[in-house]
Structure 1
Amino acid sequence: MTRDKPLIEAVGVEKRFGGYTALKGCSMAVAPGETVVLIGPSGSGKSTFLRCINLLEPPDSGSILFKGKEVGRDFASAVRLRREIGMVFQNFELFQHLDAAENIMLAPMKVLGLSRHDAHDIALGLLAKVRIRDKADSYPDELSGGQQQRVAIARALAMKPAVMLYDEPTSALDPEMIREVLDVMADLSAEGMTSVVVTHEMGFAKRAADRIVFMEAGEIVETRASADFFGGAVGARARQFLDQILH
């Protein structure tokens, strides 16, 4: 797959909350089929940057480009963008009154206009893909945290997104449930799904990332190929962070 043209690009993105500047001129391009992992200490701006990419947090300055075209800041532009960019949050955000299949079916029926029968077929296929086909009729409170997060991933995939964004998707999970979610994410990356992931799971970053973006204090400090980053070709601040998180 050619990777010469970015699928999604952030250019000089800044974001302020009152007098606090959360992002300071952040730029990043993500090519089709690439998996980029954002890492850094808490409060470095990783999640804010991710939310700016799909305009959940509209940037105060800078641009977001999708497929080479700048995305407008208006509500209609944001809605169109989010149809092509799936997002998985820290908390699962599932509808408690709907079973797993119905949670996945809702957007294809409401947004894409699919019939219930077709949406149900898609839901079952996606539940198989995330390895919980047998949980189609289970409600969220009947599922483990890892299973709920896999339903959330399947729900995002149901819109056939061009890009998947993950905002610390395992941070709310017990340790034994983390691996099952990361395995699904790694499978999707291996299949060529363009992904941007905020995570503290360095094992996943080593395994699945093409590039690592290290952030601190609202800035992108450095960007390197995963092999180089974990091979030691990093600056002093990133090396200090890795030493703290890996030991």
Structure 2
Amino acid sequence: MQKHLSANDKPLLELIGIDKSYGPFKVLKNCSLNVRTGETVVIIGPSGSGKSTLLRCVNQLEPADGGDLFFEGRRIDYDKHHVHLLRRDIGMVFQNFELFSHLSVVENIMLAPMKVLGMSRADAHDIAVELLSKVRIPEKADAYPDEISGGQQQRVAIARSLAMKPKVMLYDEPTSALDPEMIREVVDVMAELSSEGMTSLVVTHEMGFARRAADRIVFMESGEIIENASNADFFGGAVNSRTRHFLDQILH
């Protein structure tokens, strides 16, 4: 069921005219996008279209060459202070899990709350155990990353991000490194978080997730945002011809 969001809600996250180049190659071209509180926005597009780079600019893993980023109405500058504050509020889940192999599952989740938020070990452990239940693998708390499946590792990565109590979750193709049978278990957790009101910006090719959980779908091509449509318009065909062509390729 799609959430009903007021058109008058101010954006929680707003990108205005974002540009990014690597040498002579312009990866992002005047990209503007906003995400409101509780909204799930899915970004799709062909490989090399700039989707992941746009996400990395949001989390300041890549500094934009031009344009402005606003979070909760405040302009974010690329400096250590602003970046540190931003990353406390914006969680990010990557393609390849990036768990610490020498730490158990529960310890991977506990680490950031203890180091960044100054949480006690006991409190961090309680939160980690609770989040493992939320992502449906409480029995894996004492396992190590190489002892669990890829789908389970990605769910641990989601729990690790949630442990920081983020206001926005960014997902960079979170199922692309998974075997097909493991994709559903990750998608189900992401969709459940969206249904509970977690603000999410998701780069993915999983159209089932987009249809099920997205409030809006953004189509990118050659570094530009070509389409920004509601779920109903996107899957109802009320989009431009280039977007329809891409959608036909993905779905058929």
TM-score, structure 1 as length reference: 0.99
Q: How many equivalent residue pairs?
A: 247
Deviation at 1:75, TM superposition (A): 1.7
Within the candidate set 77, 94, 97, 1:89 is matched to: 94
Deviation at 1:227, TM superposition (A): 1.2
Within the candidate set 37, 59, 66, 1:32 is matched to: 37
Deviation at 1:2, TM superposition (A): 4.8
Question: Match for residue 157 of structure 1?
Answer: 162
| RMSD value, Cα | 0.7
Distance (whole Å) between structure 2 residues aligned to residue 230 and residue 57 of structure 1: 32
SS in 2 for 1:228: helix
Distance (whole Å) between structure 1 residues aligned to residue 125 and residue 242 of structure 2: 49
Question: Match for residue 212 of structure 2?
Answer: 207
Is 1:2–1:32's contact at 8 Å kept on the other side of the alignment? no
Counterpart mapping for 1:46-195 below 5 A: 46-195=51-200
SS in 1 for 2:11: coil
Distance (whole Å) between structure 2 residues aligned to residue 169 and residue 77 of structure 1: 26
Is 1:33–1:189's contact at 8 Å kept on the other side of the alignment? yes
Moved over 4 A (4+): none
Question: Match for residue 246 of structure 1?
Answer: 251
Distance (whole Å) between structure 2 residues aligned to residue 91 and residue 138 of structure 1: 18
Question: Match for residue 235 of structure 1?
Answer: 240
SS in 2 for 1:36: strand
Deviation at 1:88, TM superposition (A): 0.1
Residue by residue over 1:155-183, the C-alpha shift from the partner in whole angstroms, topping out at 9 and shown as x without a partner, is 00000000000000000000000000000
Distance (whole Å) between structure 2 residues aligned to residue 72 and residue 52 of structure 1: 11
**Unmatched runs of 5 consecutive residues or more in structure 1:** none
Distance (whole Å) between structure 2 residues aligned to residue 189 and residue 58 of structure 1: 28
SS in 2 for 1:98: coil
Distance (whole Å) between structure 1 residues aligned to residue 49 and residue 80 of structure 2: 27
**Unmatched runs of 5 consecutive residues or more in structure 2:** none
Distance (whole Å) between structure 2 residues aligned to residue 2 and residue 214 of structure 1: 23
Which residue identity is paired with 2:103?
L
Distance (whole Å) between structure 1 residues aligned to residue 153 and residue 168 of structure 2: 21
Is 1:37–1:213's contact at 8 Å kept on the other side of the alignment? yes
Question: Match for residue 221 of structure 1?
Answer: 226
Distance (whole Å) between structure 2 residues aligned to residue 8 and residue 87 of structure 1: 14
- Identity percentage over the alignment? 71
SS in 2 for 1:7: strand
Distance (whole Å) between structure 2 residues aligned to residue 76 and residue 112 of structure 1: 15
Is 1:40–1:216's contact at 8 Å kept on the other side of the alignment? yes
